[in-house]
Amino acid sequence: MLRTPTTSSARRTRDRILDAALELFNERGTAAVTTNHVAARAGISPGNLYYWFSDKDEIIRELYAGFAGAYEEMWSGDEADVMDVTPAELLRRLAAGAALSHRYAFLSRELLGLLHSDPVLAAEYAAVRERRTATFDALARRWRSAGVIRPLDDQGIADLIQALWVIAETWLALGELSGTSVESADGERLLRVVLEPYLLPARSEVTSR
């Protein structure tokens, strides 16, 4: 059962569990981490952990909620404001999400697998993704109307959005593999190589730097 803290010391315990779990998941991956490990790292007893969370999956879901919430904040605000985002600003925000991805590194690596084995998590993810895709889609259509990007058909817009999304979600974890240190600039460059050719010269702000 998902328990809500009632005192401030309790909140501290609950958060300590989440912090400990995040650390361990990032270090060793969720598969290699048990509830006992998390309790030990958090400095509490295994029994106490079960007072706050029913199992490991619930901890993972809670961590995902934290990630998703932070991500949504990046795109909250008046709908009008969001629709005023320029291509350059979009790339900046997508790449900025990398900082978040780095904090929740285990999600970058494992999310697809976790979604496959936890239907509850999959439902949460689908909701976030749908909202985000709708926003980006509307934004891209607006750019098209305003002559900011080449006149793609709706399918083309959807594909472009999806391509950017895939890269934004994956480049960090994939880049870590190559050994070389991974900079946020790398992600932005990768996104730009996809988006840039669709920008019409007159309005383009993304090439200026």
Partner DNA sequence: GTCTATATAATGATAGAC
Partner DNA sequence: GTCTATCATTATATAGAC
Determine which residue in the list 10, 70, 115, 200 makes contact with its own copies, applying CB under 8 A: 115
Residues that bind DNA (CB under 7 A): 5-7, 9-10, 12-13, 34-37, 43-48, 50-52, 54-56
Closest among 6, 8, 120, 100 to 59, alpha carbons compared: 120
Q: Considering the complex, state which of residue 34 and residue 162 has its C-beta at the smaller distance from DNA.
A: 34
Task: Look at residue 36 and give the partner it binds from DNA, its own copies, none, a contact being a CB closer than 5 to 8 Å depending on partner kind.
Answer: DNA
Nearest distance in Å: CB 50, its own copies? 20
Closest among 30, 42, 176 to 102, alpha carbons compared: 176
Give the whole-angstrom CA distance, residue 194 versus residue 78: 28
Q: Is 162 in the site for its own copies (CB under 8 A)?
A: yes
Nearest distance in Å: CB 10, its own copies? 30
Q: Locate tokens 């050719």: which residue?
A: 197
- Partner residues linked to 199 by β-bridges: 149
Q: Is 134 in the site for its own copies (CB under 8 A)?
A: no
Q: Is 201 in the site for its own copies (CB under 8 A)?
A: no
Angle at 87 between CA 78 and CA 124, to 5 degrees: 55
Nearest distance in Å: CB 128, its own copies? 11
- Partner residues linked to 149 by β-bridges: 199
Determine which residue in the list 106, 148, 182, 206 makes contact with its own copies, applying CB under 8 A: 106
Q: Considering the complex, state which of residue 16 and residue 102 has its C-beta at the smaller distance from its own copies.
A: 102
Do the beta carbons of residue 48 and residue 40 sit within 8 Å? no
Task: Look at residue 47 and give the partner it binds from its own copies, DNA, none, a contact being a CB closer than 5 to 8 Å depending on partner kind.
Answer: DNA
148: Cβ contacts below 8 Å, ≥ 6 apart: 86, 87, 199, 200, 203, 204
